[in-house]
Structure formats: C-alpha cells, structure tokens
Amino acid sequence: MSLSESSMGDHTVFSLSDRFVERLAAHQPMLATQMGVAGHDAAWGKHDPESWQDLKALLREVRSELVCLPPSDRYWERLGRRVLDDYLAVRLEQIERGEPLRDLNNIASPLQAFRETFDLMPRASEADWLAIAKRLESIGQAIDGYTACLTAGRQRGLLAARRQARACLEQCRVHSSDGAFFDTLAQQVLDTGTSSSIQRLVATGVQTARAAYSRLGDYLQRDYLPVCSGKDGVGLERYRFATRSFLLTEIDHHAVYHWGWQEITRLKQQMDTVIHRIEPGESFREIVRLLKTDPRYAVDSPESFLERMSEIQRDALERLNTRVFEVPAQVRTVEVRFAPKGSTLGAYYVQPSEDFSRPGCVWYAKPANVTAFPLYDEVTTAYHEGFPGHHLQIGVQLSLGDQLTRAHRLAIWHDGYGEGWALYAERLMGELGFLDQPEYEFGLL
C-alpha cells in the first residue's frame, strides 16, 4: 500500500488502479506478461472483435468509478487521477474509432506481439516450459481472433496501408518457416532436461504456432493485401486524433508541419558540417555508404557487437549515476540481446517486470548472415533504447511505487513523452561528450 493510499482507505485512485491493473491483466494476458504481473503466462485471452467491446466496457466502468472518487488535495492522488482519466479517454476513443480493427504494422502490432511474448517468458523450470507449451498450443486461437478483427476492419473500410501489410506478410512467412524462432524453442526445451511429456507438448505446439502464422500470412496475401490502399497517408482527421493521443494536447497541425520542414533544413545543414569532418567533399549518399561498408566503422562479429553494446550501457551507467542521474538500484542492470529471426529490423526496448526479477532489455534485430556491424548509428540508438533513454525512463517510473499508481507505472504509455524522452536522451549524451566521434554525431542526426 502506498503512503498516499494508507491515509484514505480504499477510496483512492491507488486502490482503483490496483484493481484495474489486475482486471486488465486478466483481460489481456500478453500485456500481463509484458508488465510482469504473475498468473497469466499460460493464456492469451480473446483477440476477436468482441474482446474489444469487452475492454470498452471495462474501461467505461473504471472511468465511472474514477469520477465517483471523493475529492482530494493530495498531489500524487490528483496526478494519478488525471493520468488515468487521460489514458481511459484515449483508449476508449481508439476502440470507438475502430483502430484495433486495422492494427497491422511492421513494428508494433499484435502480429509481432504474439511472437515477442515468448521472449519475455522465463525458461528456468518445468512450470515455465509448461506455460510456454500451453501458449504454443493455443496461439492459433489468438491469431484467428486477430484475423477476425482485421476482417471486421476490412468490411468497414478500416485498413492498414499496403506497404505495412506486405511487410507483415513477410514476417509471417519467416515465422512459419523451418529453422525460425519457433523451431528454436523445440531445441531449447530439449537442452534443459525437462520431462519428455513437456518436450512433446512444446514440439507439438511449435508446429501449431508455425501453422497459425502460415494461415495469417495466407489471409494477408489472399484477402487483405488486394484491398489495401497504396497510400501511406491517413488523412488530417485521423492524424489529429493520433497526435492528440500521442501528446495529450491539441496542436496547430499546419504550423507544426511547417516547423518540421524547417527542422529538416536545419538538420541537413548540421549533417553537411559533420560530413566534412568525416570525409571532406563527400556527398550524403557516399558518407552513408562509407559508414556502412568501411571496416574502420564496424565490428566484425555478432559477439563483438553485443559486447560493444553492453559496454556502452555499463559505461554510461557508471559515469552518469550520482553525477547526472540518481539511478535506483533495481535499474542498474540492462541486458542486451539479439532478437530472433523474423523480428522487425532495428532495436527495441522491453521494460523490466513489475518486481524487477526480469531486467529491462534492449533487443537488436539484424538481417540474417550479417558478418559486419556498422556502429555509426548504433551508439546513439543504444542511449535511446537503453540508458539513459527508455531504460532509465521506465525503470524510474516502475520504482516510484509510493508516488505513482500501479497503472501509471505499468500500463500507461504516451508516445510523445515516451519517445520524446528517449530522443532527448540521445541529444543529452551528445552534449555530455559521449558521442565523441563525428560518425556517432552523424548517426544522431
């Protein structure tokens, strides 16, 4: 119980938030695994159109309870109420607009989340592997429910862009292929010494998972791609809602668009200056080619790359803790790993579990059979995804249990703040002298 809650009994946003997180975890077990809320690792929950109506009813119920809470003059109580109300309002509008019915993209949509959920599940005991086996066994139902959502969206004219759908089709083909991620689970369970019955369950579940992704890929190719729009633009009305949900404020979209082009011009001028420091007289295209292909700017093995990225995290934590940031003890560990084959190329961060038993982790997805790993844009990315970017940001948020509500710490994320901090962290590291080579500064820009 938080200090804010202890003096007000159960009539606080802290109590309401605790109950909401438990109900949300039961409704969305994948989110429960991400948050590290125990008890849901063997389930998927429903993913069909009806499930979104169920979630809408839950959100409305919680919002009604929130409105009925007695007045409070306590700062953290008032903050918790405002944060939760903003979150509920945005989520409700997303559902009412039908956004879950076209939630298909190449980075962060249910298609990726089904696969990535397994990355977050422990594999130390028989019980852990049994949970994995159960999820493998039932993943087809979850993916079929998601397909039903896409079909409902298609029938209403709510579609993802063709380029997004095509990229997702390619991911499905990888996940359903021989030697991809799911096959590695079958091999890993053999190496752990678990019982033969669980090994058989995992082996059978692997085939189920591959078949489910194969069906989803067939659906995208046969039914979805042919009716997708070739335009990436979403239109001003939908863009207005997206910016409001990202920023929780209204903006002058035309003024911001004009400002954006001014920023591009400014950044281009800065890049030209940095290019001259790297290789005078070269063009932008030639500098990018040089930084991607010249061995001077790369490491030569996957092992060397991971060690370099880990070293960057350790060095930043050691040099900045107590000098620039007060880093909670639970946040002083950040893992670095390669994402499985078929993941979206790039880097992404996964938060620690609620109790910090699972550390935060930066995942790197690289093309297959890569032998050289250019570093020019990876150093700044490490600061963005790890420390002092998302890892510090989310880790501190999770550690403030006596000030922030459980929903605020675990479940609420707005991209304007979330990505805004990580982008600021990149520039801050440049100002602090950590981007000490011109190619790293170029990577930032």
Convert the pLDDT of each residue in 158-210 to its tens digit: 999 999 999 999 999 999 999 899 999 999 999 888 999 999 999 999 999 99
Confidence of residue 81 (pLDDT cuts 50, 70, 90): very high
The answer to whether 49 touches 150, Cβ cutoff 8 Å, is no
Confidence of residue 233 (pLDDT cuts 50, 70, 90): confident
Does residue 405 carry a pLDDT above 50? yes
Number of Cα atoms under 13 Å in the Cβ half of residue 203: 10
What does the alpha-carbon distance between residue 405 and residue 33 come to, in Å, rounded to a whole number? 19
Can you give the chain as a three-state secondary structure string? CCHHHHCCCCCCHHHHHHHHHHHHHHHCHHHHHHHCCCCCCCCCCCCCHHHHHHHHHHHHHHHHHHHCCCCCCCHHHHHHHHHHHHHHHHHHHHHHCCHHHHCCCCCCCHHHHHHHHHHHCCCCCHHHHHHHHHHHHHHHHHHHHHHHHHHHHHHCCCCCEHHHHHHHHHHHHHHCCCCCHHHHHHHHHHHCCCCHHHHHHHHHHHHHHHHHHHHHHHHHHHHHHHHCECCCCCCHHHHHHHHHHHHCCCCCHHHHHHHHHHHHHHHHHHHHHHHHHHCCCCCHHHHHHHHHHCHHHEECCHHHHHHHHHHHHHHHHHHHECCCECCCHHHCCEEEEECCCCCCCEEEEECCCCCCCCCEEEEEECCCCCCCEECCCHHHHHHHHCCCCHHHHHHHHHHCCCCCCHHHHHCCCCHHHHHHHHHHHHHHHHHCCCCCCHHHHHHHC
Does residue 433 carry a pLDDT above 60? yes
Q: Would you state the structure tokens that stand for residue 152, as one six-digit string?
A: 């409902």
What does the alpha-carbon distance between residue 216 and residue 228 come to, in Å, rounded to a whole number? 16
Confidence of residue 122 (pLDDT cuts 50, 70, 90): very high
What does the alpha-carbon distance between residue 187 and residue 179 come to, in Å, rounded to a whole number? 10
Residue type, position 314, single letter: R
Number of Cα atoms under 13 Å in the Cβ half of residue 52: 23
The answer to whether 74 touches 4, Cβ cutoff 8 Å, is yes
Q: Compare 85 and 10 and report the one with higher pLDDT.
A: 85
Does residue 5 carry a pLDDT above 80? no
Q: What is the pLDDT of residue 370?
A: 83
Q: 261-278, pLDDT tens digit by residue? A: 999 999 999 999 999 999
Cis peptide before 70 (omega within 30 of 0): no
Helices 49-67 and 75-96 cross at an angle (nearest 10°) of 150
Confidence of residue 45 (pLDDT cuts 50, 70, 90): very high
Confidence of residue 3 (pLDDT cuts 50, 70, 90): very low
CA 44, 47, 48, 54 torsion-angle sign: positive
What does the alpha-carbon distance between residue 254 and residue 261 come to, in Å, rounded to a whole number? 11
Mean per-residue pLDDT of the chain? 93
Q: 293-328, pLDDT tens digit by residue? A: 999 999 999 999 999 999 999 999 999 999 999 999
CA angle 109, 113, 119 (to 5 degrees): 150
> What residues pair up with 348 in beta bridges, in sequence order?
363
Q: What is the pLDDT of residue 369?
A: 80
Task: Give the chain's largest Cα–Cα span.
Answer: 69
Q: What is the pLDDT of residue 26?
A: 97
Q: What is the pLDDT of residue 52?
A: 97
Residue type, position 331, single letter: V
The answer to whether 379 touches 435, Cβ cutoff 8 Å, is yes
**pLDDT > 90: what percent of the chain?**
89
What does the alpha-carbon distance between residue 328 and residue 392 come to, in Å, rounded to a whole number? 9
Does residue 4 carry a pLDDT above 60? no
Q: 328-377, pLDDT tens digit by residue? A: 999 999 999 998 887 777 899 999 999 999 999 999 988 878 888 999 99
**Mean pLDDT in residue range 56-72:** 96
Nearest Cα residue to 352 out of 343, 342, 344, 362 = 362
Q: What is the pLDDT of residue 340?
A: 86
> What residues pair up with 347 in beta bridges, in sequence order?
364
Q: What is the pLDDT of residue 8?
A: 47
Confidence of residue 10 (pLDDT cuts 50, 70, 90): low
The answer to whether 353 touches 410, Cβ cutoff 8 Å, is no
What does the alpha-carbon distance between residue 16 and residue 26 come to, in Å, rounded to a whole number? 16
